[in-house]
A and B are shown apart, each in its own frame.
Chain A
Amino acid sequence: MYKKILIVLVILVVAVLVAVNVGQRTGVLKMGRLKVGMVTDAGTIDDKSFNQGTWEGVLQAGEEFGLETRYLKPAGTTEADYLTEIGNLYDAGFKFMVCPGFKFETPIYQAQDRYPDAKFVIIDGNPHAGDFVPVVKENTVSIFFAEHESGFIAGVATALQLKEGELGYIGGMEIPAVQKFNWGFQQGVRYANTHLGTNMVIRPENVIYQGSFDNVAAGQQLAAQMYDRGVKAIFAAAGGVGIGVINEAKARARAGQEVWVVGVDVDQYDEGIYDGNKSVILTSATKQIKKATYDMIKAELDGKFPGGEILVFDAKNDGIGIPDENPNLSAEVESKVAEVYAKLKSGEIVVSDVRGDLIR
């Protein structure tokens, strides 16, 4: 028995080796064309926000320029897990890598030295050695978004549309990008209240970080509590937790209650659709992740890769904002928001990216 199995295993291994040899000689590994890889952050590739936005940018560039693309999903969320997948992409010939998330900061710091002939794009983070001192090498570009500005403009839009009532915020984990959305949103509401005559209230108990990006049920529960407390719209910057928020809103909207959700990262309008053509998504605080990713790949192909730079996508370069189309906002609101956005662009309005006197 034992021997038989051993023999079978040996045969199997030999067969594999032969097959691969043949495969390699017939040229499985083609050289030349740029191969673009991506390592996902925690969460799935179809997370309707961060991972998905990045991947869509990679795919768009891949289709347009005929590139081979691939994404890998790390086994865990430790530095070693991320670095392993970067190594895997590198060994497989993917020498242009996009990595979304601040958790890639220390892995990319090591990878940019270990793989000097590869190019790295890190979104929402700076490579550093664990001491938060940015070290962006020539083969790396670091991309930031002004989430606070995005949250600000969404806050203004929400306040303008709803005029008066209570608003809430549900965040995922308490990490910088998520915090900045929160702070920007609060400032936007405050701006609308002082300058645009709205009367929106955000109570401290309605600003919550759930603590994860994947607990859909918890998101739904928190949203239910907030809506029960009389909150009209919730800004959910929380990945899968936000999906729970949207689900709760849809259930209530179907029952005739007036509840809204403000989406995050990408235009989440479609996520909120119920009863055919209505959606609970009032608007979304977006970051142009897809565009940024696409731009970097294009720049590399054009030989203009901005290596060593830290790029910030904000209102000035149209890197953030609310979607072009917002069926749930009135035309009047949209035009007013556009005015505020212009002020943001010109620097007339400055949004703070620290907490200051804000809630949490």
Chain B
Amino acid sequence: MKKEIGQEYTVALLAIGLGLLAGAVLMLVTGNNPLLGFFYLFSGGLMNITRIGNTLATATPLIFTGLSVAFAFRTGLFNIGAAGQMLIGGLCATALGLTLPWPKPLLLPVIVLAAALGGALWGLVPGWLKAKFNVHEVVCTIMMNWIAYWSVYYIVPAYFKGAYLETESRRIPEAASLKVGWLTRLFKGSYINLGFFIAIATVLIIAYILDRTTLGYELKAVGYNRDAAEYAGIQANRNIILSMMIAGACAGLGGAAFYVGYASNMQIGVLPSQGFDGIAVALLGANSPWGVFMAAIFFGLLHSGKGFMNAMTKVPPEIADSIIATIIYFAATSVLMERLRQRLQKRRQARDKTDLPLDPEAKLQEKVGGVG
């Protein structure tokens, strides 16, 4: 087991290396010094305590959405709906934050819980449809994204708009914000907020569920081999619903972290990009909770350092976006490629041991793959 985890990290590092290399090529092509570019990229995210805080704050929603995608994936489900779940989570949090006149210590837990429940509800629908009618969750979650988008579009201006603006909610009161004074001061005015600690707690909980509980055992069993799970008496459908709900809850928490933590009100007409970045985060993090955590921090670093690189070099923002996208793309896809290679290798090892039937074409491909 341990060896395998080591390998996964190697792969992730390799992937990041490749991504940076691709980014460097892009910088060279556009006539910029990649070494300087990367220096400013990383110092933009790390050069002082404020920036470190901002990097963590940027990473926080990504941790949640990454966990959401990864968790569903462990049950064999592809959750493209993290963006919508995040929106609904954020909407629940914002709505309560603007409505309940409670003191902060009482209000925050309620808000966070409501966000998780909202996201869970948004995961429940596709999960239930998948279990009951075998509606593919990819289609369903994408549609749920738009339902969330337009719900927010209607609900925020109708009930929570401010005095002047039709397009965003009122500013949430201090009592409802995940930003807390001591943390902001500690990080010298950074946007880091309690969401980051909730994220760490969520990583721990998800890791615990997956590794230590019968629920995790069931969920993974369904993910690896639904037929065998059903054969063993595990109710696959119940687990599919449950898995989507937990995934939704993670993304919903991300919504709270983003809308009442990082931001301070809710704007309509925006489907949060973090929902989709979560897919890349989950891929790079190899669907393991701590892997997701690390990957999210890395992506957070890229996102928060990008602007400083822009400001310090002549790399235009559009190219900078391309560079970041290239790094992410390479990071995510090389993990895929590597995993494919490993699977083939594993199969070959298994075959060598068991003397399974010859399959020369597959072996040929492995050979070719092994060289690359």
Using a CB–CB cutoff of 8 Å, the interface residues on chain A facing chain B are 1-2, 5-6, 8-9, 12, 15-17, 19-20, 23, 37, 40, 44-45, 70-80, 83-85, 87-89, 91-92, 94, 102, 106, 114, 130, 132, 173-176, 211-212
* Interchain nearest-CB distance for A27 vs B (Å): 14
Contact B262 A78 (CB under 8 A): yes
Contact B263 A79 (CB under 8 A): yes
* Interchain nearest-CB distance for B167 vs A (Å): 5
Report which of A12, A20, A88, A102 forms a contact with B44, defined as CB distance below 8 A: A88
Residues in A with CB closer than 8 Å to B273 are 75-76
Residues in A with CB closer than 8 Å to B35 are 15-16, 19-20
B interface, by DSSP: helix, strand, loop or mixed? Answer: helix
Contact A80 B57 (CB under 8 A): yes
* Given A16-B39, A73-B321, CB of A2 within 8 Å of CB of B307: no
Residues in A with CB closer than 8 Å to B14 are 1, 5
**Is B79 in the interface zone, CB < 8 Å from A?**
no
Using a CB–CB cutoff of 8 Å, the interface residues on chain B facing chain A are 6, 9-10, 13-14, 17, 20, 33, 35-36, 38-39, 42, 44, 50, 54, 57-58, 153, 157, 162-167, 171, 189, 191, 262-264, 267-270, 272-273, 303-304, 306-308, 310-312, 317-318, 321
Instruction: Sample 13 A-B pairs with CB under 8 A, ordered by A number.
Output: A5-B14, A16-B38, A37-B311, A45-B317, A71-B317, A72-B307, A72-B311, A72-B317, A75-B307, A80-B54, A88-B308, A173-B166, A211-B269
* Interchain nearest-CB distance for A20 vs B (Å): 5
Contact A72 B39 (CB under 8 A): no
Contact A212 B269 (CB under 8 A): yes
* Interchain nearest-CB distance for A3 vs B (Å): 9
Residues in A with CB closer than 8 Å to B10 are 1-2, 5
Contact B13 A72 (CB under 8 A): no
Report which of B20, B163, B270, B306 forms a contact with A76, defined as CB distance below 8 A: B270
In the complex, which residue of chain B has the Cβ closest to the Cβ of A39?
B307
State the CA gap A20–B157 with chains docked (Å): 49
* Given A88-B311, A91-B308, CB of A173 within 8 Å of CB of B167: yes
State the CA gap A79–B157 with chains docked (Å): 19
Residues in B with CB closer than 8 Å to A12 are 20, 38
In the complex, which residue of chain A has the Cβ closest to the Cβ of B189?
A114
Contact A17 B167 (CB under 8 A): no
State the CA gap A88–B58 with chains docked (Å): 15
Contact B39 A92 (CB under 8 A): no
Contact B270 A77 (CB under 8 A): yes
Residues in A with CB closer than 8 Å to B166 are 173-175
Residues in A with CB closer than 8 Å to B171 are 106, 130
State the CA gap A139–B10 with chains docked (Å): 51
* Interchain nearest-CB distance for B229 vs A (Å): 34
Residues in A with CB closer than 8 Å to B42 are 16
Contact A94 B54 (CB under 8 A): no
* Given A75-B306, A91-B308, CB of A80 within 8 Å of CB of B269: no
Contact A20 B39 (CB under 8 A): yes
* Interchain nearest-CB distance for B196 vs A (Å): 14
State the CA gap A12–B36 with chains docked (Å): 11
Contact B17 A9 (CB under 8 A): yes
Q: Which 4 A-B pairs have the closest CB atoms?
A: A92-B311, A174-B166, A73-B317, A78-B263
* Interchain nearest-CB distance for A113 vs B (Å): 10
Residues in B with CB closer than 8 Å to A174 are 157, 166-167
State the CA gap A19–B35 with chains docked (Å): 7
State the CA gap A17–B39 with chains docked (Å): 7
Report which of B13, B44, B54 forms a contact with A9, defined as CB distance below 8 A: B13
5 further interface pairs, Cβ-Cβ under 8 Å (given A1-B14, A78-B263, A91-B311): A5-B10, A9-B17, A72-B310, A85-B307, A114-B189
* Interchain nearest-CB distance for B74 vs A (Å): 25
State the CA gap A346–B99 with chains docked (Å): 48
Contact B39 A132 (CB under 8 A): no
Residues in B with CB closer than 8 Å to A78 are 262-264, 267
Residues in B with CB closer than 8 Å to A173 are 166-167, 269
* Given A19-B35, A19-B39, CB of A84 within 8 Å of CB of B54: yes
Contact B311 A70 (CB under 8 A): yes
State the CA gap A76–B165 with chains docked (Å): 18
State the CA gap A176–B54 with chains docked (Å): 31
State the CA gap A9–B189 with chains docked (Å): 31
